[in-house]
Amino acid sequence: MVFKHEQLLGKSRFRSSYDAVIIGGGLHGLATAYYLAKDHGINNVAVIEKRYIGFGGAGRNTAIVRANQRTQENLPLYQEALKLWPLLTRELDFNLMFYNCGNLNLAHSDAAIKSLRLNVSSAQFHGIDSRLLDAKECKTLVPALDISDRPRYPIFGGMYHPPGGIVRHDAVVWGLARGCIKHGVHIHQNTEVTDIGVKNGKVEFIETTRGKIKTEKVLNAAGAYSAALAYQMLDIRMPISVLTIQAMVTQPLKPLMDHVVSSGAYHVYANQTLKGEIATGSHMDPWPNYTTQNTAYYIKHQAEALTELFPCLKGAKFMRIWGGLADMTPDMAPIIDGNDPVEGYFVDCGWGYFGFKSSAVTGKYMARFMATGQCPAILKPFTRQRFEKHRLMGETAALVEFSPNN
């Protein structure tokens, strides 16, 4: 297939009517558009992106994929998500660079080991490969780890998840965009959705900076902007806080880490890229905001945390740092809904830290939801109504284990 680059540059004809409009050219928007066209033959679809595809979390994340989430509702989705990457690589005929290096979550207290044990059993219950390791086994897996009593939080053990790893995030964006174009989807960049028109309880049109589009189906996949968009355009409130996540890479180093390693107690995760850089991220900034600015505080925190776990990194230099926004719900699980409270309005947001690994599979099921009007069983638990019914999920435990300081 010849890659029609001009279409990606916003030059595909801007129609005045589409069968479905996707707001946001991020991971979830592109994936849904792709599957709408490929699986359901709905290809009169427009993806409307206010800047450029991958401008949001899609192009800023640290590309970690894994299936060892915590709750019964989330595990099946992430399990299928992980299995999809190699299939999607073939299907899109685009190398998504899945590096199946495995993930190691460290525990620094007896309480953390107990918490990991719960995670491991939940994962194993779903047939997901997840194992508990003691400190020596962690060291065998990642020899550069300091498992002595020297660090402030010594390593007690870890949760090892061999099927996880890294997928190139920009490759996913470009691969899905290419797949969309191949199936006739229009991608309009530098175009902002400014309003959603509703008549008699149904979506009728959207308003954009390039004009009005008639449509009966709209997906709000605007990532960190989705809650503001829903409130401003439809008066729908969602319990989402927008927080900054910062990430950085060091100078290239000789191979020293061939797994993704994370620690809840130190609020740090890291992996070594194929170029040799240590790519590392941290917890979110503790206050809601829409800035992607970086802070000296995080550079210092990251340097301290990394060198506690990996003393050999002392003296390594950070080369690049960036920030992105995360749309965080109180239970760290997404909000997925359709035809509520407006017919034809769908939403897929609130992914916080987990929206990369879940993107392709969610797009596949979201497309089915939009095409048929029936919410697939795997997506049903994520309805916005769960907050009104006080049925939160506790997915927070998939990320921040019990640690000595929390």
Ligand X SMILES: Cc1cc2nc3c(=O)[nH]c(=O)nc-3n(C[C@H](O)[C@H](O)[C@H](O)COP(=O)(O)OP(=O)(O)OC[C@H]3O[C@@H](n4cnc5c(N)ncnc54)[C@H](O)[C@@H]3O)c2cc1C
Q: Which residues bind ligand X (CB under 6 A)?
A: 23-29, 48-51, 55-58, 60-64, 192-193, 221-225, 229, 245, 247, 281, 324, 326, 349, 351, 353-357
CB 287: neighbour CB atoms within 10 A?
A: 8
Specify whether the CB–CB gap between 116 and 178 falls below 8 A. no
Measured from the CB atom, the residue of 147 and 196 that comes closer to ligand X is: 196
Specify whether the CB–CB gap between 8 and 2 falls below 8 A. no
Q: How far is the CB of 30 from ligand X (least distance, A)?
A: 8
d(CA 157, CA 178): 43
Q: Under the phi-then-psi rule, with left for phi > 0, alpha for psi from -120 to 50, and beta for the rest, what region is 292?
A: alpha
Measured from the CB atom, the residue of 1 and 296 that comes closer to ligand X is: 296
Q: If you count DSSP H runs as helices and E runs as strands, how many of each does the chain have, helices first?
A: 10, 19
With H, G, I as helix, E, B as strand and everything else as coil, classify residue 291: coil
Q: How far is the CB of 203 from ligand X (least distance, A)?
A: 15
The H or E element containing residue 2 is none
Q: How far is the CB of 197 from ligand X (least distance, A)?
A: 14
Q: How far is the CB of 174 from ligand X (least distance, A)?
A: 13
Q: How far is the CB of 147 from ligand X (least distance, A)?
A: 25
Instruction: Please give the backbone phi and psi of residue 10, each rounded to the nearest 5 degrees, phi first.
Output: 85, 20
Distance of CA 319 to the CA centre of its chain: 24
Q: How far is the CB of 13 from ligand X (least distance, A)?
A: 18
Specify whether the CB–CB gap between 349 and 227 falls below 8 A. yes
Measured from the CB atom, the residue of 20 and 58 that comes closer to ligand X is: 58
Angle at 206 between CA 39 and CA 172, to 5 degrees: 40
Q: How far is the CB of 294 from ligand X (least distance, A)?
A: 11
Which residue bears the tokens 């100078």? 251
Measured from the CB atom, the residue of 140 and 194 that comes closer to ligand X is: 194
Q: Is the backbone peptide bond immediately before 341 cis, with ω within 30 degrees of 0?
A: yes
CB 231: neighbour CB atoms within 10 A?
A: 13
Measured from the CB atom, the residue of 20 and 222 that comes closer to ligand X is: 222
The token pair that represents 152 in the structure block: 């402030």
The token pair that represents 380 in the structure block: 């049903």
CB 198: neighbour CB atoms within 10 A?
A: 18
Which residue bears the tokens 């990642």? 142
With H, G, I as helix, E, B as strand and everything else as coil, classify residue 182: helix
Q: How far is the CB of 326 from ligand X (least distance, A)?
A: 5
Measured from the CB atom, the residue of 94 and 353 that comes closer to ligand X is: 353
Question: In the chain, what is the greatest distance between 2 CA atoms, to the nearest angstrom?
Answer: 67
Measured from the CB atom, the residue of 354 and 365 that comes closer to ligand X is: 354
The H or E element containing residue 327 is strand 318-328
d(CA 370, CA 28): 13
Specify whether the CB–CB gap between 116 and 186 falls below 8 A. no
Measured from the CB atom, the residue of 50 and 147 that comes closer to ligand X is: 50
Q: How far is the CB of 43 from ligand X (least distance, A)?
A: 20
Measured from the CB atom, the residue of 61 and 115 that comes closer to ligand X is: 61
Q: How far is the CB of 344 from ligand X (least distance, A)?
A: 17
Measured from the CB atom, the residue of 51 and 300 that comes closer to ligand X is: 51
